[in-house]
Structure 1
Amino acid sequence: MGFKKMLVAVDGYEPSMGAFKKAIELAKDYQSQVVVLQVEEEVPLLPTEKMMEAVEKPITEEPLELAKAYADLMGVSVKIVKKVGPVAGAILATAKEENVDLILLGDSGRKGFQKLYFGSVAQAVTENADRPVLVIKKGWVDVSDLVELAARIVEKPEAIEIPVYDPRAVRENFIFSGTLFFVLTCLYFFAAIITSKPFKDIAALEIVGLPFGIWSGLILVVSGIILTRIYLTRQGGVS
């Protein structure tokens, strides 16, 4: 019967990506679907764990994106799944949910203290799975093509959004800007007229302790600031 549906867990590092590549190879042989799972752990890494993990750099920071791109190139159907929680538990739960025939995992090859400290996801899954588990040892699968593809994905240029000319939007923006300019112009000439020689008596009138001419200047400045902010908000420059 073969394997009609397989599950492989990826984290971007070489062991898991090697397991993913082997899953793609098997999928091509059996014409099956591959469920690609990425699990984000709920508990952040401790400083000691970060130091030990930093020894090996991942092939990609976006394993699901790389998996989808590679599967498309190979002509294999994949289903992308992302979960949060304990890694081994999420793998076992997904295997049951998807009713897969085979689970593929990458083995980091840690030994001694590192294996004792980190534990082994592959070991936990193997001991508790109710279906076959294939563990791919680190270095057993050549992942150089995945490394090259990951580099191309990172370097691909982002799509440039070309603005579309909209006559109605241009007209509305012109009317809006023109209205603000007209209001500011009226305020400016009002302040200029009030402070001119023919209206010096009106400008000298005190209102709340200040001459009316001073108040007209202050109103002009404040209005200019408010109108400018309204314009920038309309244009998306100020939130």
Structure 2
Amino acid sequence: MPPAAPEAPVKPPTSLVRRARKIHRVLAETYPEAGCELDFRTPFELLVATVLSAQTTDRRVNAVTPALFAAYPDAAALAAADRTAVEEIIRSTGFYRAKTDSVLGLSAALVERYDGEVPARLRDLVTLPGVGRKTANVVLGNAFDVPGLTVDTHFARLVRRFEWVDDDVAKDPVKTEHAVGALFPRRDWTMLSHRLIWHGRRRCHARKPACGACPVAHWCPAYGTGPTDPVEAARLVTTQGRA
């Protein structure tokens, strides 16, 4: 028997597409300054900074990367770095031993496979130590202008609350990435990620979202998860530039 044909992707309902795109338009108006909150000058710096950002804040990463990149400005320098010295610089980001393994390993791999340059293809990036699809999409979208969706904890929480994906899909970051991608033009993916992450950090918090001060409350099925009183909700809104 011939092999079964692959299943055709399910086209999302038009009503869901319209609601999702309306939410995105409002978030774009609400957060015109949204963008990558990690400081970087080169694709290599962004790659390393993104790996360091796991389980910590972008603010904390931005506090340590100036010293790290002053000492080790490129992949060749970091690949040859003294492990103890790197650990000491990044210690405050948490999980510093595992992160040191990753940044030393990915630097060595870049030198060995790519002449020290960060590749601009997802399939190459995900072969590097410590680099998964989430990190790869951050680098592609912000360093190379290649559209990608960054399914971090904020992104995953919001797309569940907005009911852009069902519970089964939400358990799998790759399925979530593909399902949300089907709702939007590819050109919007990178900025959609930034805006959802900004909204998650500033209003749609995990434990107590500011529902009463939410610009997309009218289209959100999870409205009421947090306080709906405007005054109480306003107190939950954070406006920091660096989250």
Q: What range describes the TM-score normalised by the shorter chain of this pair?
A: under 0.3
Give 1 or 2 for the bigger CA radius of gyration: 1
Q: TM-score w.r.t. structure 2 length?
A: 0.21
More strand per residue: 1
Q: TM-score w.r.t. structure 1 length?
A: 0.21
